[in-house]
Amino acid sequence: EMCIRASHIGIQYWQVHKAGFEAAAAELGVQTFFTGVMGDSVEQQITIMEQEIAKKPAGILVGPLNGPAFVPVINRAIAAGIPVITVDTDSPGSDRLSYIGTDGYAAGQKAADLMADLINEEGKVGVSNLVGFEACEARARGFIDRIEEAYPNMEVVAVVDDKADTEIATRVNSEMIIAN
C-alpha cells in the first residue's frame, strides 16, 4: 500500500492529486490510501503521518505543511524502511528520497508576468495567499518582487490571507477590492 497525505485535502488542488495517484496505482496494480487534514494543522498532519508509519506502507508521498517540522517524522519513516517522497512542498533537511514540485518563486514571477500582460502593465494588484507556509510565501515573494523590479506602473496594494478556504477567500478578497 502506498500512501499520500496532504493539507487542505478537500480542495480541488489535492483532489486532482488524488485522482492522478489513484489512476497510477490502478495502472500499476497497487493499493493506495489518501489522507490528510482539512485545514492547516501541522501537528495534526504529523500525527496522521505517524499513524501511517505504524501501518508500515510500502511508501509515503507527503506534502508537508512545514518542512523543518517534518524532518523528524520523515526521518522516522526512512529509518523504518519506508521510502518518503515530498510532493508540492518540501522538507529539504530530511532524509526524504526526492521532492516533486514547483519552484514557487519562479511560478510567482511567471504569474506576475501574466498579470502584467492582462492589465497592460498598469494598475493596482493584490495577492491572495495562504500566509505562513513556505511554498505559498515563495510564490507571493516571486510575484511581488517581479512586479517591483519589472513593472513600474503596477503596484501591489495588499496581501491577504485566504487560509485556502473559499468562504474566507471570498470575504478577504472582497474587502481588499473595496479598500483599493
Angle at 127 between CA 125 and CA 133, to 5 degrees: 165
**What distance lies between CA 58 and its chain's CA centroid?**
24
* Cross-strand partners of 33: 3
The pTM of the full predicted model, rounded to 2 decimals, is 0.74
pLDDT tens sequence for the chain (180 residues):
455 544 566 677 778 888 888 898 899 998 888 887 776 788 888 999 999 999 999 999 898 888 899 999 999 999 999 999 999 889 999 999 999 998 999 999 999 999 999 999 999 999 999 887 778 889 999 999 999 999 999 999 999 998 878 899 999 999 999 999
Check: CB of residue 156 under 8 Å from CB of residue 148: yes
